[in-house]
Amino acid sequence: MKYFPLFVDEGGAMVVDVVRKFVETEIMPLRDQFDADTEHKLINDLLIKMSALGVFNVNMPEEGSDSEGPSLPMACAVIEEFARGDAGIGLVAGINSWAMAGAVYGRNREVIEAYKKRQQEKQPTFACFAMTEPASGCDVENLPEMHGKTIKTRAVQDGDSWVVNGAKRFPSNAGISSFYCVVCQTAQEKGEEGIALIYVPDNAKGLSFGKFEVKAGLQSDRNCDIFFDDVRVPLSYRASGPGEDAVILKRNVSLGRVVSAAAAVGCARGAFEECLRYTGEREVGGKPIREHSIAAGILADAITGIETARAYYLQVAYMLSHPDKFGEVHSPAMISHASAAKNQACQMANTIIGRLMELMGSYGYIRDYHVEKYWRDVKEIQLWLGGHQLAQFDVVRRYYPYKIGA
């Protein structure tokens, strides 16, 4: 199912096309083997090929350049294409850019150069954005209410170093990354002013990891606990500074949610294509399943859901790339739009993939037929980044207190 991505220029559309072909030739033929690939042999080979495609760290600027890389609508369209094959593998690449966004936005040349040096030594190089903690996931992201006061990972200045102590849970790319962007608090009473995003290289003394989580889906994404025991990094490894680091955290919540919407649309599209083919071949009641109007209605609802969710996330991605017209990425209005895009796309994908499985009978539940994979993968996209409920709160609270005409 080819489509023309809105708000993506001709060059961008060509990139999307290249990724689409890569997904069809390299990822789709292997996707039912990922669950058994516990050592990530297949997955690592694919990541090396993806790295050669140039989709890793697309936001890293050259020396003397302020460019933040390709447009957000294009990046989202690329993530949708990857998720059509395997959401986890696309997100591994996307999370690199997300984790390094703090250094890029904070114009932190020292961190950018240290990361680039690592890239020269090792390809692909991964990065991780470590926000969630054992005691609190949503509360860390819920800055409008909690103001970063529940963040337990501490960063204390000691001479020319930051000393980091604490633990993070679940981050994508944990245990495989070269750099960790760690959301810390310097002093609880300072709230958002105390939030510090500290970059920790993987060879820092005192950094250790738990075992990889065993999950329902998204096998290509690695997640584990990260422990910081008196980890020392240079003062310059803070993304930006007081207040500004909280802005970067809010920006990443906003950006992460719109990209999640794209990934959910990709999952729904992958499942739809499998179901469309299957229901055209298998007959019930004397004709192919999809020729029964009740089944055609479910397929039609799937297309409508996919198309409307895509149109909305692309519009929001466009708005986020034009802060001059629509407001800053971290503003309550933009966080509201990005959260609405994620919630709508995830709700749509979770509902629709379940319905598509019904059209396939028990074959929909069997691994060889692929649809159950999208069903398992897409649930977590809804659960992360504050889940549906915190995102709902973020959608609506920009209207509190309601102002006529606002």
Ligand X SMILES: Cc1cc2nc3c(=O)[nH]c(=O)nc-3n(C[C@H](O)[C@H](O)[C@H](O)COP(=O)(O)OP(=O)(O)OC[C@H]3O[C@@H](n4cnc5c(N)ncnc54)[C@H](O)[C@@H]3O)c2cc1C
- Contact positions toward ligand X, by CB under 6 A? 95, 129-132, 136-139, 142, 170-172, 215, 218, 221, 223, 380, 384-387, 389-390, 393
Which residue sits closest to ligand X, CB atoms considered?
A: 137
Alpha helical stretches, state H, 106-207? 109-121, 138-141, 143-146
Complete DSSP assignment for 206-218: TEEE-PPPP-SS-
Q: What 3-state class would DSSP assign to 4?
A: coil
Which residues lie below 8 Å from residue 184, measured CB to CB, with a gap of 6+? 151, 153, 154, 155, 162, 164, 166, 195, 196, 197, 198
Shortest spacing between CB 250 and ligand X, in angstroms: 14
CB of 52: closest distance to ligand X in angstroms? 24
Q: How near is the Cβ of 295 to ligand X at its closest, in Å?
A: 32
Contact 177, 128 (CB under 8 A): yes
Q: Are strands 127-130 and 161-168 parallel, antiparallel or unpaired?
A: unpaired
d(CA 401, CA 20): 45
Nearest CB to ligand X, comparing residues 201 and 288: 201
3-state secondary structure of 178: coil
Q: 313: closest CA among 341, 354, 348?
A: 341
Secondary structure letter of residue 223 according to DSSP: B
Dihedral-angle region of residue 403 (phi above 0 means left; psi in -120 to 50 means alpha; beta otherwise)? beta
Element (H, E) at 187: none
State the nearest-atom distance from the C-beta of 285 to ligand X, in Å.
41
- Which of 364, 386 has the CB closer to ligand X? 386
Beta carbon nearer to ligand X, 192 or 380: 380
- Rounded Cα–Cα distance for residues 284 and 70 (Å): 47
Cα–Cα distance for residue pair 49/386, rounded to 1 Å: 32
Minimal distance in Å, beta carbon 275 to ligand X? 25
Q: Which CB, 258 or 298, lies closer to ligand X?
A: 258
- Least distance to ligand X, CB of residue 173, Å: 7
Instruction: For residue 127, list its beta bridge partners.
Output: 179
Nearer to ligand X, 304 or 389 (CB): 389
Task: Tell how far CA 354 is from the center of its chain.
Answer: 22
292 vs 376, beta carbon nearer ligand X: 376
CB nearer to ligand X: pick between 31 and 290: 31
Task: Please state the closest distance from residue 129 (CB atom) to ligand X, in A.
Answer: 5
Closest approach of Cβ 384 to ligand X, in Å?
4
Q: Considering beta carbons, is residue 142 or 279 the nearer one to ligand X?
A: 142
